[in-house]
Amino acid sequence: MALINEQYLKLPESYLFSEIARKIDAYKASHPEADIIRMGIGDVTHPLSETVVEALIKASKEMGKAEAFRGYGPEQGYDFLIETIIEYDYLRRGIHIDTDEVFISDGAKSDTGNIGDILSRDNRVAITDPVYPVYVDTNVMSGRAGNLLPDGCWSGLTYLPCTAENGFIPALPESCPDVIYLCYPNNPTGTTLTKKQLSEWVDYAREHDALILFDAAYEAFITEPDVPHSIYEIEGAKQVAVEFRSFSKTAGFTGLRCGYTVIPKELKGYTHMRGEVSLNSLWRRRQSTKYNGTAYVIQRAAQATYTSKGRQAIEDTIRYYLGNTEILLRGLKEIGLEAYGGINAPYVWLKVPQGFTAWSFFDRLLSECQIVGTPGVGFGPSGEGYFRLTGFGTKENTIKAVERMKEWSI
Ligand code: PLP
């Protein structure tokens, strides 16, 4: 008899996006002529750059030639990509990373989800709230989250609320967790930490022997000088932090799939007897057993994003998306709504007007403006009363959405 991992039974149905889809379908069925503007899902819309497409074609052709064909590659990624990443994402910011500290993957979702494999089930885990749901669900799966409470929190997790009241800056927890997930620039709030604010977390982790899992999937959207692009810009961070990066939002790779994780060799985990173990070696062991490498063709495409044409294309696309968030931020403020984020991230986090819940705001916005966003409560209890709009749509639709909201009497 095959027993299952019963932790999975604790997971509620993945309700958020299916419920949104259900509500849109129901609305469309009764209003077939409605011109619905979708600003809910966090997927990119711009196509791949020409440079990336050319690299894909070139690499695919190589695979068709006996002399250039590649089979299984190195599980942790090809040197050509690792060296390019180190040069552009780290060395140019004064950060020294060794080639065996970078692990190429099929994206940050897998890595942020799988990292728990090398960590004990006994760790106390802290998450910011609201949060990218993968951190929570994967901890539920591995038995670290305890049970779901009526208030929407998991009994075994420490929640670090991020709301307008604290400027979306999580307070350092009083009783120290072993593992802390931080995501900056943040999904869903679109807010960031300054270098000084992130330094406090690094110092805290060093003082308490905690591990920071730093998700920098939206790093490419940073526009303000005071915001760190990598946690390793902060002194001592290599001793306490793993960093996750992704080509998804940076270069439109949500469909291609490529990301990477940096695990410095000096970063240690502990056994129950307080013996020190290199997390880099554990992750290497994990990846070489469970992962067979990101496709060669995709890694060549990722490498192409660092050429001067590739970087220019990324810059243009990100400027376009951030142009949309600027339109949203300005429009929402003119309407008199409080809105946050959107400057260093493709997300605008809106406080719903008094008297609304996140879901009742969703319903009214859909039925009266034909605009779809994401109710903040879907990202955690502290997201109640908030709503996420994204800059990933077209400029025309973003302008249209703001105009509709301006004419709307809430
Ligand atoms: N991390 C955060 C915070 C995200 O918002 C997302 C995607 O929305 C991911 C990771 C997933 O990235 P990838 O496409 O590389 O798996």
354-392 pLDDT per residue, tens:
999 999 999 999 999 999 999 999 999 999 999 999 999
pLDDT in tens, 270-288: 998 879 999 999 999 999 9
Q: At what angle do helices 296-304 and 50-63 cross, to 10 degrees?
A: 150
pLDDT over 90 at 410, yes or no: no
CB atoms within 10 A of CB 218: 26
Three-class DSSP labels, 329-350: HHHHHHHCCCEEECCCCCEEEE
pLDDT over 80 at 266, yes or no: yes
How many A from CA of 217 to the centre of ligand 1?
6
**pLDDT at residue 17, as a whole number:** 85
pLDDT over 90 at 350, yes or no: yes
In order of 27, 123, 238, 243, the CA distances from 211 in angstroms are 45, 10, 10, 11
- Ligand 1 atom at minimal distance to the Cα of residue 43: 8
**pLDDT at residue 372, as a whole number:** 97
Ligand 1 pocket, 132 CB below 6 A?
yes
In order of 87, 112, 148, 357, the CA distances from 381 in angstroms are 40, 21, 12, 12
Q: How confident is the model at residue 89 (pLDDT cuts 50, 70, 90)?
A: very high
Ligand 1 pocket, 376 CB below 6 A?
no
58, amino acid identity: K
Ligand 1 pocket, 130 CB below 6 A?
no
Ligand 1 pocket, 259 CB below 6 A?
yes
| Residue pair 303/55 in contact by the 8 Å Cβ criterion | yes
Ligand 1 pocket, 254 CB below 6 A?
yes
Ligand 1 pocket, 187 CB below 6 A?
yes
pLDDT over 80 at 409, yes or no: no
Q: What is the chain's mean pLDDT, rounded? A: 96
How many A from CA of 109 to the centre of ligand 1?
5
Which residues, other chains included, contact 197 with Cβ-Cβ below 8 Å and sequence gap of 6+? 169
Ligand 1 pocket, 114 CB below 6 A?
no
Q: Is the pTM of this model over 0.85?
A: yes
pLDDT over 80 at 176, yes or no: yes
| Dihedral (Cα; 166, 159, 234, 117), 10-degree rounding | -160
Which residues, other chains included, contact 46 with Cβ-Cβ below 8 Å and sequence gap of 6+? 252, 317, 320, 321
Long-range contacts of 204-207 (CB under 8 A, 24+ apart): 204/172, 204/176, 205/180, 205/240, 205/241, 206/236, 206/239, 206/240
For the record, the structure tokens of 88 come out as 């552009």
Ligand 1 pocket, 246 CB below 6 A?
yes
pLDDT in tens, 95-148: 999 999 999 999 999 999 999 999 999 999 999 999 999 999 999 999 999 999
Of 36, 41, 16, 24, the C-alpha closest to 248 is 41
Of 140, 190, 153, the C-alpha closest to 338 is 190
**Segment 314-326 mean pLDDT:** 98
Ligand 1 pocket, 181 CB below 6 A?
no
| Residue pair 140/7 in contact by the 8 Å Cβ criterion | yes
How many A from CA of 80 to the centre of ligand 1?
24
**pLDDT at residue 14, as a whole number:** 74
Angle at 170 between CA 169 and CA 172, to 5 degrees: 130
| Ligand 1 probe mutation, 14, 41, 109, most atoms within 8 A of CB | 109
Ligand 1 pocket, 107 CB below 6 A?
yes
For the record, the structure tokens of 23 come out as 């509500």
pLDDT over 90 at 16, yes or no: no
| Ligand 1 probe mutation, 182, 221, 249, most atoms within 8 A of CB | 249
pLDDT over 90 at 322, yes or no: yes
How many A from CA of 133 to the centre of ligand 1?
10
Closest-CA residue, ligand 1 atom 5, reads 187
Q: CA–CA separation, 49 vs 46, rounded Å?
A: 9
Q: CA–CA separation, 149 vs 369, rounded Å?
A: 35
For the record, the structure tokens of 376 come out as 């903040």
